[in-house]
Chain A
Amino acid sequence: MSLLEVNNLEVIFALRHGDLVALNDVSFTLDKRERLGVVGESGAGKSVTGFAVINLISKPGRISKGTILFDGKRLDRLSEREMRHIRGNRIAMIFQDPMMTLNPVLTIGTQMVETLRAHRKISKKDAAKIAIAKLELVHIPSPERRLAQYPHEFSGGMRQRIVIAIALLTDPAIIIADEPTTALDVTIQAEIMDLLLELCNTQDMGLMLITHDLGVVAEVTERVMVMYAGKVIEVAKTSDLVASPMHPYTKGLINALPGHGECDEENRLQQIPGSMPNLTEIAPGCSFHPRCEFCQDICTREVPELRSLAGMDERKVSCHFAGTEQMQ
């Protein structure tokens, strides 16, 4: 059994003019020490998936269907109190902007010690020792001194390291990283990604990396799940997905990556025409069909299921024509 198993998850935001289905029948698994990428454009439901796993969907949203199994426990059924014990303890989360996620008026040490003491009965001294060890783990020089400093005394990259160190405090089984490098510059991005990769290997952690950067996903993750308009449309091993995308949307995403080739007509940067539909007014049939270059009659009528393809394990696509000749 997998460490984390999400089945048929549906999340609904009750808005004044009707329900908005933010997640529609989302299922996935995450094994121990596995690194899963979640890719998609803004509004596809990546972050909502992350928040749903730790049962922290903010109002007016709620989980309306489906199950979330973690370590054999139904997370969607736990009380708030029991859930607090999981959050930040067994499953930690890292956010996009390290400038915002640290409390500006508390020292790093205070914030780390508090986190530890919220989950374990230990003295402040012992908590500080653990905090120092974790800061060392994320390569912060002279951590003892740093504990007494405030967030504004650190650079962006350092802050994200500290956020990661806070996530590591309780030795979680899974880290959910929600676009952890989007707010950082490119060189720092690479450092943080290397760090996350290294920590997954040394600390026995699973990683759920939410991003819109396929390059990062290709570098760090083992498996990847592509989302579109609240649905999972393709799941595959990262190497397979990058080498041969099956869903037209995934193809589009990969074609939209800048390459290293010459700057001529042929190598022009591709883009996917149109934009993602408003989630309150999704067209019938495949939600991608208005933008799809292979769109046929059936696509406008029937919703494609997420199905395995013949001869390909671990690979699922939701497209009527995936793997058929029309798509070549």
Chain B
Amino acid sequence: MTKKAKRAMTGAECSAEAMKQINPDVVAAYPITPQTPVMHTFSQFVADGAVETEFITVESEHSAMSACVGSAAAGARTMTATSANGLALMWEVVYIAASTRLPIVMNVVNRALSGPINIHCDHSDSMGCRDSGWIQLYSENGEEAYENTLMAVRIAEHKDVLLPVMVCQDGFITSHSVETVELLDDESAKAFVKEHEAVDPLLNVENPVTYGPLDLFDYYFEHKMQQVDAMEHSKRVIREIFDEFGTLTGKKYDFFEGEHLEDAERIILCTNSTAGTARVVVEELRAKGEKAGLVKMRVFRPFLNEEVVAKLKNAKAVAVLDRAASFGGYGGPIFMEVRSAFHEEKEKPVMINYIYGLGGREMDTTQIKTIFSELSAAANSAPGDLGSVIRYSGVRE
């Protein structure tokens, strides 16, 4: 068995544990709630000599990602962690990291973007980065954050991909909550992530490389196409890594993980910790004989549209839950993409968007139940009678 004994750990500690086993060459990070315990725990590992990491305590998140770019380009395995406004501050460098094709792995502990300033969970931070060219993995709980982090290293560093990866988990909800988790032992984890093989490193002084030239209009578009191409390849690579890691843990990983989908008539699609909440309700409904199902999104970028269509197409009504709003857009980020994925399909379920949980507003089983009953109503209404398909759950009018 390649697993450690079960332990009680917070989600942040799980991320830190993954980082410990990966033992990156360099970590550059700046504190921000609720990512802080990840770094506090990791700092202790550094102090104890449990890792060989060169830990740069930078003076801002912008410098954190900048140092990561310098380090990854130099040829070192590099990681960092941040949340919300920290991610926003490093925004320009996040794009640079992706376009420079550096395999940086970042833990994003999801928190709402200011303003007003709010330190609690929603997905506005990582959703805001969806066009940056990073691969995005979402984690239902601490154990998944741990697993996603290990897999992220292999995905990022794969020669056909070479894109940075962000691993997301809910701020406070999973990052600060204790759960029993089952992690891999050190040797198996280390063997899985393998040794880092740098591509065109700056430190290879015999073959000097120039990173970050000026592109005029005659080359920029071509460089962007290469990023598009890499995202395409990543779809295949991610599946390979999912399968390989699955042999270590015995679990099955997928872009969109379905539960009780066989004959499901009403399905909820959601991500991160809300999947756990929704599961409780789905199982309750199933016990009563109702045909409810759940799809949990693990990978948002690249967005595997064929997969989401395959999982949802036989339902009568689908609720897509977004923990982020896109002001002025037609629905939240996930809803817009799921809906768009169905455009060419002749048969599509009724789709309703629920924007919820902004700024840490609680999402509980009562709200999920309400959503399921609204789905029943939606499934049975005539097309013109649906009313607004963009709905808001949990807000006071």
B is bound to A: no
Which B residues fall within an 8 A CB radius of A? none
Which A residues fall within an 8 A CB radius of B? none
